[in-house]
Structure 1
Amino acid sequence: MSSKERPTLGGARIKTRKRNIAVPNDPSGFADNVIQFFRDKDGDLDAISKVIGEVDDLDFSRYGDTLFEVIFTGHALQPGSVVPLEDASDQPWNVLACEPTKSGILVYVSFVQKLIRRRPFLIKNLENNLQRLLQSLEHYGPEDRKKLAVFTALTFSQKLGLPPETIFEGLLKDAIVQKGTVLSFLTEFCKEYLADNKFEELVSLLKRAKVDDRLLEFFPMQKRTVEAFNDHFHKAGLDVLVEYNNKKVFDIKLRELKATVTTMISEEAPVDDVIAFAKKEKKDSSLPEVDVLLDLWDAMMDAVQWSGKNQQQNTNLALRQVKGRGKLLGAFSTTSKAEFALIYKVQACCYEDAKLMKLFAEIVRILYDLDVLGEDTILTWYRKGTNPKGRQVFVKALEPFVKWLEEAEEEDDE
């Protein structure tokens, strides 16, 4: 054997590695095949869904986006745009060509639903296409924009599995919001969704989409006011959305008020300064007195620097806060309704916080001395209070003070 020859195993088969063969990308060809299905079945979506979902020759995993382009627009689109491919074939059975009615569009939603059941991975392609179309709403007329809004609402009503956050958050870009088309989409979407679902379900959907606190951002910058919001949705017949947003605005304003007051109290700002600030915020934001009062109580408690060393120290800190800042509560406890709201708030607070559990009667007495709680309010709560949280314990603790009030009342009568 020559030294240059390599030894071999007799009869051994030497395998050669197969190389990956790159298949050229052909979305146009895929679209033509899909369109042919539509033509062969004369647009019968039920018949098409039974056939097309079982065809193995169509590479849905590679051309899923193209499939939905044909379903939405009737033809394949250029990458990243809503412009048709050059020389693209067309078919008239698509979402943007159907009647702008719920019944007309629901047929296509059901068709898509059947496709996704057979091939669940197509949900991502549906998501991609909807995102692209909705972010290009200005390229379509009012009727087509309405069709897209109704289609989107029905996909969520029918629970196809779309993630709402990717659909809605992409719309909150000033460049497209400024054109007003996003607001018209949101309006039509809400109207259609509420036709089949409760308002609480819409709120849940908006929360999942992370836009429930950002509804004003759907308005062009120059119209981004509560007044413009209320006027627009009132005219659209969506008063429930107006009420919801007003409450959200109130909640945000109240949170901001509470945070600022807590800081002012922690920094030992004069009580009169805190009262002046709170009254100005109440007036400027039209905040209800009762809500302001309850938030001020929370701010007072949040501002207490709990030592945590022993119960007696915490007791002293809490009572000192009520004595020193009770005047703040008195400025907003001007009606019997406000007084009752406050005494129930104190009851709940003392029940839920172990540090305050034994202080209810003492706090009520201090608030009485400061003219924050009236005698009638205390006696009515004692005799007819409806909140059961810790009531038996608190009634017993308050009994000596109530007895003193009743005796004083009898002396006044005499």
Structure 2
Amino acid sequence: MNKHQKPVLTGQRFKTRKRDEKEKFEPTVFRDTLVQGLNEAGDDLEAVAKFLDSTGSRLDYRRYADTLFDILVAGSMLAPGGTRIDDGDKTKMTNHCVFSANEDHETIRNYAQVFNKLIRRYKYLEKAFEDEMKKLLLFLKAFSEAEQTKLAMLSGILLGNGTLPATILTSLFTDSLVKEGIAASFAVKLFKAWMAEKDANSVTSSLRKANLDKRLLELFPANRQSVDHFAKYFTDAGLKELSDFLRVQQSLGTRKELQKELQERLSQECPIKEVVLYVKEEMKRNDLPETAVIGLLWTCIMNAVEWNKKEELVAEQALKHLKQYAPLLAVFSSQGQSELILLQKVQEYCYDNIHFMKAFQKIVVLFYKADVLSEEAILKWYKEAHVAKGKSVFLDQMKKFVEWLQNAEEESESEGEEN
């Protein structure tokens, strides 16, 4: 059945529906009612909170949430970019807002309580408030330095009490804010306010949950995105905890990348000389100590082979495999601490992989003969530096070899005295 096109009336003018016509003016009606109520409440924030609570039943907070939060923060409706729509018309603005408040933590915390109460009362405003704060952070260039400071303090306090999620910080990574140094300056003030509410562990945990822990360097322009620059900037600002946190995060990230690349090279059976050169370059580039590398090498070497499931065969297989890579381990165990870390890694591995339990002593002897481990390191491990895992089993395995080392040491000392 064919559908016929319906006839269209021509020459007929349709009047705008009254409801639609009214909506055009509703934001200004909303604004006027809000500004009047805030001006009447004045600096009494308890009265402000009560006014906002009761007015929510008369005004459409859901539809005009952006206007509501613009006025509570900036005292006026904001145009795209952050300029005040009613700038110059004092009757359309209020001074009873965050931007006009005193620039101290206690005052801004009291304003934060107004937002907390409002959002607890009208739960549907939660997402709108999050969007508003993201928007305000994008508008930072339009605000004065004092206004930026108050907004940073408010954001930090609200992050601390859980009203806002850490994801609002993504707005700070905008190119224009980063290039002009606004992002880093704002972040410092925000983190100070946040840490006045919560400890450093809570702050860094929130950053991790929001996947921002690896993006902190992006607060700076590309030519300044180094751990050293970040550490100095934030330490000078009194935020050493964040500097230390970033160093740890960067180090962990670097180690993961290094381990991944090492695993790839070992699986391709790259010549040991090439692997040594690569590791040394990465250590220099990322300021990694030998003690951080030796454990990675052990893990990669042990992951590079499919181990026999039979205990009587795995020891022979392990010794053959480790003999091949002993020269690689020897290069990166030149310090006593590195040797001890390697010994502890071997101990933990043999305990965690039960087929290797009886192979521990043989591996240590192999490393001793290949100049990977010194007798000093082995003796220190035996006396005090071993870990708890399988301690009694491994110390028992090593007893005779340790006695032999001690006797050899005594003999060499007595020979030295005779000479």
TM-score range, shorter chain: 0.7 to 0.9
- In the alignment, what sits opposite 1:24? 23
- In the alignment, what sits opposite 2:65? 64
- Compute the TM-score of the two structures, normalised by the length of structure 2: 0.86
Across the aligned residues of Structure 1 and Structure 2, the Cα RMSD in angstroms comes to 2.4
- In the alignment, what sits opposite 1:381? 381
- In the alignment, what sits opposite 1:345? 345
Mean CA deviation greater in 81-90 or 292-301: 81-90
Superposed CA offset, 1:90-122 (max 9, x none): 111111111221122112101111111211222
| Distance in structure 2 (CA, Å) of the matches to 1:164 and 1:249 | 20
- In the alignment, what sits opposite 1:99? 102
| Distance in structure 2 (CA, Å) of the matches to 1:94 and 1:21 | 32
Aligned-partner SS, 2:64? helix
Contact residue 75 and residue 97 of structure 2 kept, 8 A:
yes
- In the alignment, what sits opposite 1:139? 142
Aligned-partner SS, 1:61? coil
Mean CA deviation greater in 22-31 or 35-44: 22-31
- In the alignment, what sits opposite 1:163? 165
5+ residue gaps in structure 1? Answer: 1-18
- In the alignment, what sits opposite 1:244? 245
- Equivalent residues in 2 for 1:289-308, closer than 5 Å: 289-304=290-305, 306=306
User: Does 2:219 correspond to 1:214?
Assistant: no
Q: How many residues align?
A: 392
Q: Which amino acid aligns with 1:110?
A: Q
Superposed CA offset, 1:20-63 (max 9, x none): 96672522211211112112223422012123313321122222
- In the alignment, what sits opposite 1:186? 187
Report percent identity of matched pairs: 32
| Distance in structure 1 (CA, Å) of the matches to 2:397 and 2:52 | 76
- In the alignment, what sits opposite 2:46? 46
Contact residue 138 and residue 179 of structure 1 kept, 8 A:
no
- In the alignment, what sits opposite 1:369? 369
- In the alignment, what sits opposite 2:114? 111
Once the 2 structures are TM-superposed, how far is the Cα of residue 177 of structure 1 from its aligned partner?
Answer: 1.9
Tell me: CA distance 1:333–1:44, structure 2 relative to 1, closer, same or farther (3 Å). Answer: same
Tell me: CA distance 1:139–1:325, structure 2 relative to 1, closer, same or farther (3 Å). Answer: same
Contact residue 159 and residue 165 of structure 2 kept, 8 A:
no
Superposed CA offset, 1:173-204 (max 9, x none): 33432222111111111222223322111211
Tell me: CA distance 1:21–1:28, structure 2 relative to 1, closer, same or farther (3 Å). Answer: closer
Aligned-partner SS, 1:54? helix
Q: Which amino acid aligns with 2:381?
A: W
Contact residue 42 and residue 48 of structure 2 kept, 8 A:
no
Contact residue 214 and residue 249 of structure 2 kept, 8 A:
yes
Once the 2 structures are TM-superposed, how far is the Cα of residue 227 of structure 1 from its aligned partner?
Answer: 3.2
Q: Which amino acid aligns with 1:340?
A: L
- In the alignment, what sits opposite 1:4? none
User: Does 2:157 correspond to 1:154?
Assistant: yes
| Distance in structure 2 (CA, Å) of the matches to 1:357 and 1:308 | 14
Superposed CA offset, 1:130-189 (max 9, x none): 1111011111122111111110000022222x2212x01232233432222111111111
User: Does 2:332 correspond to 1:329?
Assistant: no
Superposed CA offset, 1:327-379 (max 9, x none): 11111111222211111111122222334333222211111111111122222
Once the 2 structures are TM-superposed, how far is the Cα of residue 74 of structure 1 from its aligned partner?
Answer: 0.9
Once the 2 structures are TM-superposed, how far is the Cα of residue 257 of structure 1 from its aligned partner?
Answer: 2.3
Deviation >6 Å, runs of 4+ = none
Aligned-partner SS, 2:248? helix
Q: Which amino acid aligns with 2:122?
A: R
Mean CA deviation greater in 122-131 or 240-249: 240-249
Q: Which amino acid aligns with 1:327?
A: P
Mean CA deviation greater in 246-255 or 181-190: 246-255
| Distance in structure 2 (CA, Å) of the matches to 1:34 and 1:378 | 76
Once the 2 structures are TM-superposed, how far is the Cα of residue 242 of structure 1 from its aligned partner?
Answer: 2.3
Q: Which amino acid aligns with 1:123?
A: E
Tell me: CA distance 1:314–1:140, structure 2 relative to 1, closer, same or farther (3 Å). Answer: farther
